Protein backbone atom coordinates (compact mmCIF):
# COMPACT_ATOMS: atom_id res chain seq x y z
CA UNK A 1 0.00 0.00 0.00
CA UNK A 2 2.85 2.38 0.87
CA UNK A 3 4.36 1.79 -2.57
CA UNK A 4 1.11 2.78 -4.26
CA UNK A 5 0.84 5.85 -2.04
CA UNK A 6 4.36 6.94 -2.97
CA UNK A 7 3.57 6.42 -6.64
CA UNK A 8 0.46 8.57 -6.33
CA UNK A 9 2.45 11.31 -4.61
CA UNK A 10 5.05 11.29 -7.36
CA UNK A 11 2.34 11.44 -10.04
CA UNK A 12 0.72 14.40 -8.26
CA UNK A 13 4.06 16.16 -8.00
CA UNK A 14 4.71 15.60 -11.71
CA UNK A 15 1.24 16.90 -12.59
CA UNK A 16 1.89 20.09 -10.61
CA UNK A 17 5.31 20.73 -12.16
CA UNK A 18 4.07 20.00 -15.69
CA UNK A 19 1.07 22.30 -15.23
CA UNK A 20 3.37 25.02 -13.91
CA UNK A 21 5.83 24.78 -16.79
CA UNK A 22 2.99 24.85 -19.33
CA UNK A 23 1.62 28.03 -17.71
CA UNK A 24 5.09 29.61 -17.43
CA UNK A 25 5.65 28.98 -21.14
CA UNK A 26 2.23 30.24 -22.28
CA UNK A 27 1.67 33.30 -20.09
CA UNK A 28 5.02 34.01 -18.44
CA UNK A 29 6.73 32.99 -15.22
CA UNK A 30 6.05 36.26 -13.39
CA UNK A 31 2.37 36.36 -14.40
CA UNK A 32 1.64 32.82 -13.26
CA UNK A 33 0.21 32.36 -9.76
CA UNK A 34 0.17 29.34 -7.47
CA UNK A 35 -3.63 29.43 -7.66
CA UNK A 36 -3.49 29.07 -11.44
CA UNK A 37 -1.02 26.20 -11.16
CA UNK A 38 -3.28 24.42 -8.68
CA UNK A 39 -6.31 24.85 -10.93
CA UNK A 40 -4.43 23.63 -14.01
CA UNK A 41 -3.10 20.58 -12.13
CA UNK A 42 -6.52 19.79 -10.63
CA UNK A 43 -5.35 20.09 -7.02
CA UNK A 44 -5.79 22.55 -4.15
CA UNK A 45 -3.41 25.41 -3.36
CA UNK A 46 -2.32 23.75 -0.07
CA UNK A 47 -1.46 20.61 -2.09
CA UNK A 48 0.85 22.65 -4.35
CA UNK A 49 2.60 24.06 -1.27
CA UNK A 50 2.88 20.55 0.16
CA UNK A 51 5.21 19.67 -2.71
CA UNK A 52 6.72 23.03 -3.65
CA UNK A 53 7.34 26.04 -1.44
CA UNK A 54 7.35 28.47 -4.36
CA UNK A 55 7.37 28.82 -8.15
CA UNK A 56 11.16 28.92 -7.96
CA UNK A 57 11.23 25.45 -6.42
CA UNK A 58 9.18 24.14 -9.35
CA UNK A 59 11.75 25.53 -11.81
CA UNK A 60 14.60 24.02 -9.78
CA UNK A 61 12.81 20.67 -9.75
CA UNK A 62 12.57 20.71 -13.54
CA UNK A 63 16.25 21.55 -13.85
CA UNK A 64 17.12 18.75 -11.45
CA UNK A 65 15.22 16.14 -13.44
CA UNK A 66 17.63 16.14 -16.37
CA UNK A 67 20.01 13.20 -16.16
CA UNK A 68 23.59 14.59 -16.03
CA UNK A 69 24.97 11.36 -17.48
CA UNK A 70 23.25 12.11 -20.80
CA UNK A 71 25.27 15.32 -21.12
CA UNK A 72 28.43 13.52 -20.03
CA UNK A 73 28.01 10.81 -22.66
CA UNK A 74 27.37 13.38 -25.39
CA UNK A 75 30.36 15.49 -24.37
CA UNK A 76 32.63 12.46 -24.65
CA UNK A 77 32.39 12.95 -28.43
CA UNK A 78 34.54 16.05 -28.03
CA UNK A 79 37.56 13.77 -27.87
CA UNK A 80 36.95 12.77 -31.48
CA UNK A 81 37.54 16.29 -32.85
CA UNK A 82 41.00 16.89 -34.30
CA UNK A 83 40.63 20.69 -33.96
CA UNK A 84 40.28 21.90 -30.34
CA UNK A 85 38.14 24.81 -31.59
CA UNK A 86 35.62 22.34 -33.03
CA UNK A 87 35.62 20.57 -29.67
CA UNK A 88 34.93 23.80 -27.73
CA UNK A 89 32.13 24.82 -30.10
CA UNK A 90 30.63 21.36 -29.74
CA UNK A 91 30.76 21.67 -25.95
CA UNK A 92 29.04 25.04 -25.97
CA UNK A 93 26.31 23.72 -28.27
CA UNK A 94 25.79 20.71 -26.01
CA UNK A 95 25.39 23.02 -23.00
CA UNK A 96 22.79 25.12 -24.87
CA UNK A 97 20.90 22.04 -26.08
CA UNK A 98 20.98 20.62 -22.55
CA UNK A 99 19.55 23.84 -21.08
CA UNK A 100 16.76 24.09 -23.68
CA UNK A 101 15.83 20.46 -23.03
CA UNK A 102 15.43 21.26 -19.34
CA UNK A 103 13.28 24.37 -19.79
CA UNK A 104 11.65 26.22 -22.72
CA UNK A 105 13.38 29.38 -23.96
CA UNK A 106 10.58 31.63 -22.68
CA UNK A 107 11.15 30.47 -19.09
CA UNK A 108 14.93 30.86 -19.33
CA UNK A 109 14.32 34.40 -20.58
CA UNK A 110 12.63 35.29 -17.29
CA UNK A 111 14.66 33.32 -14.75
CA UNK A 112 18.20 33.72 -16.12
CA UNK A 113 18.61 37.38 -15.09
CA UNK A 114 17.89 36.41 -11.47
CA UNK A 115 20.35 33.53 -11.71
CA UNK A 116 23.11 35.58 -13.34
CA UNK A 117 22.69 38.56 -11.01
CA UNK A 118 24.98 36.85 -8.53
CA UNK A 119 22.79 37.99 -5.67
CA UNK A 120 22.18 36.18 -2.42
CA UNK A 121 18.58 35.19 -3.21
CA UNK A 122 17.68 31.58 -2.51
CA UNK A 123 16.87 30.84 -6.15
CA UNK A 124 20.29 31.96 -7.35
CA UNK A 125 22.09 30.11 -4.55
CA UNK A 126 20.22 26.85 -5.15
CA UNK A 127 20.89 27.06 -8.87
CA UNK A 128 24.61 27.63 -8.27
CA UNK A 129 24.70 24.53 -6.07
CA UNK A 130 23.11 22.48 -8.84
CA UNK A 131 25.45 23.99 -11.43
CA UNK A 132 28.47 22.64 -9.54
CA UNK A 133 27.61 19.24 -10.99
CA UNK A 134 27.84 20.65 -14.52
CA UNK A 135 31.12 22.40 -13.73
CA UNK A 136 32.57 19.09 -12.59
CA UNK A 137 31.50 17.48 -15.90
CA UNK A 138 33.18 20.24 -17.92
CA UNK A 139 36.36 20.07 -15.83
CA UNK A 140 36.58 16.32 -16.29
CA UNK A 141 36.17 16.66 -20.02
CA UNK A 142 38.82 19.37 -20.31
CA UNK A 143 41.24 17.13 -18.38
CA UNK A 144 40.68 14.39 -20.95
CA UNK A 145 41.39 16.83 -23.79
CA UNK A 146 44.47 17.95 -21.88
CA UNK A 147 45.66 14.37 -21.44
CA UNK A 148 45.13 13.78 -25.17
CA UNK A 149 47.51 16.67 -25.91
CA UNK A 150 44.82 18.93 -27.36
CA UNK A 151 45.07 21.55 -24.61
CA UNK A 152 48.07 23.07 -22.83
CA UNK A 153 49.58 20.92 -20.10
CA UNK A 154 49.67 23.90 -17.73
CA UNK A 155 46.06 24.94 -18.38
CA UNK A 156 44.11 25.89 -15.26
CA UNK A 157 41.28 23.44 -15.92
CA UNK A 158 38.98 24.68 -13.15
CA UNK A 159 39.26 28.28 -14.32
CA UNK A 160 38.70 27.26 -17.95
CA UNK A 161 35.61 25.24 -16.98
CA UNK A 162 34.26 28.19 -15.00
CA UNK A 163 34.77 30.58 -17.94
CA UNK A 164 33.17 28.19 -20.45
CA UNK A 165 30.19 27.62 -18.17
CA UNK A 166 29.80 31.34 -17.52
CA UNK A 167 30.08 32.13 -21.23
CA UNK A 168 27.47 29.50 -22.07
CA UNK A 169 25.01 31.07 -19.62
CA UNK A 170 25.59 34.47 -21.21
CA UNK A 171 25.00 33.02 -24.67
CA UNK A 172 21.85 31.28 -23.43
CA UNK A 173 20.55 34.63 -22.16
CA UNK A 174 21.31 36.31 -25.48
CA UNK A 175 19.78 33.46 -27.48
CA UNK A 176 16.56 33.13 -25.47
CA UNK A 177 16.06 36.91 -25.45
CA UNK A 178 15.41 36.79 -29.19
CA UNK A 179 11.83 36.57 -30.42
CA UNK A 180 12.96 33.81 -32.77
CA UNK A 181 16.18 32.04 -31.83
CA UNK A 182 18.73 32.33 -34.65
CA UNK A 183 20.84 29.22 -34.04
CA UNK A 184 23.00 29.76 -37.14
CA UNK A 185 24.02 33.27 -36.02
CA UNK A 186 24.52 31.94 -32.51
CA UNK A 187 26.93 29.23 -33.67
CA UNK A 188 28.83 31.71 -35.85
CA UNK A 189 29.28 34.11 -32.91
CA UNK A 190 30.32 31.27 -30.58
CA UNK A 191 32.92 30.01 -33.03
CA UNK A 192 34.50 33.46 -33.49
CA UNK A 193 34.57 34.14 -29.75
CA UNK A 194 35.81 30.65 -28.86
CA UNK A 195 38.57 30.99 -31.46
CA UNK A 196 39.71 34.24 -29.88
CA UNK A 197 39.73 32.69 -26.40
CA UNK A 198 41.49 29.55 -27.58
CA UNK A 199 44.21 31.25 -29.60
CA UNK A 200 44.63 34.34 -27.45
CA UNK A 201 45.35 37.93 -28.36
CA UNK A 202 49.12 37.99 -28.05
CA UNK A 203 51.17 38.77 -31.18
78-100 tens-digit pLDDT: 778 888 888 888 888 888 888 88
Q: Which of 1 and 82 is assigned the larger pLDDT?
A: 82
The domain at 66-199 falls in which architecture? Answer: Orthogonal Bundle (1.10)
What per-residue confidence (pLDDT) applies to 137? 83
Give me the residue spans of the domains in the chain: 2-53, 66-199
What average pLDDT score do residues 55-63 get?
87
What per-residue confidence (pLDDT) applies to 93? 86
Instruction: Record the pTM.
Output: 0.81
What band does 3 get if pLDDT is binned at 50, 70 and 90? confident
pLDDT > 80? residue 68: no
What average pLDDT score do residues 41-45 get?
93
What band does 67 get if pLDDT is binned at 50, 70 and 90? low
What average pLDDT score do residues 144-157 get?
89
Residue 101 CA to residue 17 CA, distance in Å, equals 15
What band does 31 get if pLDDT is binned at 50, 70 and 90? very high
pLDDT > 70? residue 71: no
The domain at 2-53 falls in which architecture? Answer: Orthogonal Bundle (1.10)
166-183 tens-digit pLDDT: 898 999 999 999 989 999
Share of the chain above pLDDT 70, in %: 91
What average pLDDT score do residues 198-202 get?
81
Amino acid sequence: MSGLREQQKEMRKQAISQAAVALFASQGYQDTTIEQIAREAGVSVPTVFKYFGSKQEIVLEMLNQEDPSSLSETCERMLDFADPLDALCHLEQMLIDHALKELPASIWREVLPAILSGGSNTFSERYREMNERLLAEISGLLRKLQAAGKLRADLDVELAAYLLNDYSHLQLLRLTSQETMDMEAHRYHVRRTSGLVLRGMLA
